[in-house]
Amino acid sequence: MTDKSFWQSGHRPTLIMAFLYFDVAFMVWNLLGPLAPIFSKALALSPAQKGFIVAVPTLAGAVLRLVNGFLVDRIGQKVTGTIGQIIVILGLVAAWHFGVASMNGLIAVGIILGFAGASFAVALPLASRWYPPQHQGKAMGIAGMGNSGTVLAAIFAPLLAKAFGWENVLGMAAIPVAIVFVAYLVFVKDSPHQPPAKSTGDYVKGYFKMLADGDAWWFILFYGVTFGGFVGLSGSLPSWYTGELGFTPVQAGYATAACVFAGSLVRPMGGALADRIGGIKTLSGVYALAAVLLVVISQAPASFAVMFPLFFLTMATLGVGNGAVFQLVPQRFRHEIGVMTGLVGFGGGVGGFYLASSLGLAKQWTGSMSSGFLIFAALSVLALAGLTGVKKRWRTTWGAAISGVRI
């Protein structure tokens, strides 16, 4: 298939808006990471408390993705995304207007930002349902490239906080979200290929049905490592750069942004690579390389010249993995994509919560984040072992039934 046939096979305005919606949602979802070195000093938070606060939006987003997975199949992607964006805009404005003066206040903000993280379960089905199986990797990769919103947060949040104060950044973030929200209302269109609406009871049964399928658990683990690693590092790197290298929050933001950009840029490339050589082969390489890089990171000296390339390569590797996982999910669960996007997204969010919070705990308990990186390397090895165990069965069962698509 040519690139032209790809663009003609779906609804281009919806695909573009799925990306933009995901992009600004990810920007606000990851606001607390770049701001952590600033608000942790203002509120005298410990390393463990700082790691927990950074991880709260990730966990909240993981849980809310399950809710959005239900709503996507029940009321459609466009309406579900509309509700989420309204909540985020009102929450940001309220946090700016009333202020955030305590850890409890930060937790409340983190939960509101979780609604932005839950956009994952809307944006990806919004794109996926418009495109045929042979173009799933590219479509999901383009929509998923909204991960790049993390770059915007890493660059601009510290700069704006330095100029106007970190609490005012929350109010400013509502502006681009509101602009994209208006464009979303105008241009987004649900695909005509929607599954029949389910009742709440049927949907709950659907979740349990998916959880009874072993393949669903494997996808939850696979995305928990790739996306969990990506978002966990995105939130933790500003604190690492300021704590280990003595960078200012602005300098840490630039360094983090470069690493995040690598992971975001290659996500559609990961999807396209999976379309070409198969998602299983792509993911096998991702997990092997990620495990090696994380082990090296845990043992390397705290030097920018050494660590920056390692973090950059790790984020790029995980970004390829994110695209590859979602080349496979629609092939295996095309008629349950709403439920599965919620479940797999939940796994990714839990992985990100674990990594960000564990790195904070490791820093407080041992004075170094090394043990946190080592444990996540072990999870990468576990994912590789699991993928190796299921690949033959996948290729000879549901994979063999999909004409013209390599898994």
Compute the distance between CA of residue 25 and CA of residue 7 in angstroms, rounded to an integer.
24
> Could you state, in order of their start, the residue ranges of all structural domains in the chain?
11-186+196-396
Residue type for position 18: A
**CATH class belonging to 11-186+196-396:** mainly alpha
| Strands, E assignment, 196-304 | none
pLDDT in tens, 115-131: 999 998 888 888 878 77
| Residue 146 per-residue DSSP state | G
- Least confident range from 124-138, 185-199, 343-357: namely 124-138
Question: Which residue from 89, 70, 88 is spatially nearest to 80, judged by alpha carbons?
Answer: 70
- Least confident range from 12-21, 286-295, 308-317: namely 12-21
pLDDT in tens, 41-80: 999 999 999 999 999 999 999 899 888 878 887 888 899 9
Question: Which residue from 358, 206, 387 is spatially nearest to 284, judged by alpha carbons?
Answer: 387
Compute the distance between CA of residue 236 and CA of residue 48 in angstroms, rounded to an integer.
12
* Range list of H helices, 30-119: 32-42, 47-75, 77-98, 103-117
> Per-residue pLDDT for 4 more than 70?
no
Compute the distance between CA of residue 180 and CA of residue 339 in angstroms, rounded to an integer.
26
pTM of the model: 0.85
> Per-residue pLDDT for 37 more than 90?
yes
Contact 92, 173 (CB under 8 A): yes
Q: Which run of H or of E encompasses 287?
A: helix 279-299
Model confidence band, residue 2 (pLDDT cutoffs 50, 70, 90): very low
The reported pLDDT for the residue numbered 124 is: 82
